[in-house]
Structure 1
């Protein structure tokens, strides 16, 4: 994950962007929430290193909520998302923001949602968040997961997955290269007890689903194609 692609195209963060609202504590974390609280199905979006205030991520949350889900985007970084800084390189920031802590926090959020009557839970993770939802996919905390241009995911992780998993990958990704994605797919093809879907998007790079220019028509189209695939997966398993 130390590759430069993780740090490319940092979003301009906005604490007020989106159609939803921010709650101060949801399972112990501050979170952006949108959608009907009476829904019995929720989707947890686990951000990339730039955190829960990224406008394109919140825009996606609003889109998923419009399909009938309660959507939660927790602040897994406790107000300290990654900010490109030569004096604090990414690897140093990651020492204080490990995916193991993200996994434990995600479980707390999901336990809170279940305590409120939510019976179906999906989780989608982007880059850093891809590893977090992979860990969730090894448990009974979720019904289905989607990884989008994931980072830090190993072959052994894929062997341990037990929940329906969709992987949406970039053709040009130095973080999780195409040959690794193909190995993920080969493993999942042998795991017939676990439904899976693997798709490689041609001509795009790591981060394309949430770090695209809204004025770039081609980039928006590719991102929206991935968003539709994400929604289709959750429509299949959470309804």
Structure 2
């Protein structure tokens, strides 16, 4: 289902999200913000949101492309449109979306975030800006600066693809900064798989790695968001 428009005065002004909820919800539930790849809110990310709902979470998946007309229904066109996005304003939009998601009346005031590729970078950025973010799970996303690592309060679960040297190069310094700051984190590298291995609509999909990474993700959200 589509959510009402979310106000984002520091970003593009407003954005919309896809919201998935369990069909038989009992009581207030944890909320997970889902941040897409550099394609916008495509059917794959909507499916990720529904998977979270099946695991008894409320999932909120904003569309960074909404200010530019929204996901255009074609992956190539989406990539071209994404290049026109103002990254600073888009980042502010997702901070606004996180606040709105955490404040949902059906939620239990616990918020987690999961993101993929570009969205993994957004999730890591949110972790440095939102001290009340309980859990953050970036899949093969660029790391924030090591200077910002000490600002993270969320429990981190970082997923890397084995064949992803561009992203993986920043891992050691970032993890050293996290350790120095006492941040709770786990990082897993899945050998022999490509950047984007969780996306089951592309040839890069690896079922074994994706299944294991998702099991670990749900376990962290259950551990941190249901207390």
Displacement, 1:41? Answer: 1.1
Structure 1 residue ranges without an equivalent (≥5): 1-20
- 2:126 alignment partner in structure 1: 136
Aligned residue number for residue 6 of structure 1:
none
Partner of 1:227: 214
- More relative contact order, 1 or 2 (CA 8 Å, 6+ apart): 1
Query: Where in structure 2 are the equivalents of 1:62-211 lying within 5 Å?
Result: 62-78=50-66, 79-80=70-71, 83-84=75-76, 93-98=82-87, 100-117=88-105, 118=107, 119-138=109-128, 139-151=130-142, 153-177=144-168, 179-192=169-182, 194-211=183-200
Does residue 41 (structure 1) correspond to residue 30 (structure 2)? The answer is yes
**RMSD of Structure 2 on Structure 1 (CA):** 2.8
Shift >6 Å, 4+ stretches: none
- Counterpart residue number, 1:18: none
Distance 2:51 2:82 in 1: 30
Residue pair 2:143, 2:170 contacting (<8 A) in 1 also: no
Distance in structure 2 (CA, Å) of the matches to 1:143 and 1:107: 14
Question: What is the total number of aligned residue pairs between the two structures?
Answer: 210
Q: Give the TM-score of the pair, scaled to structure 2.
A: 0.79
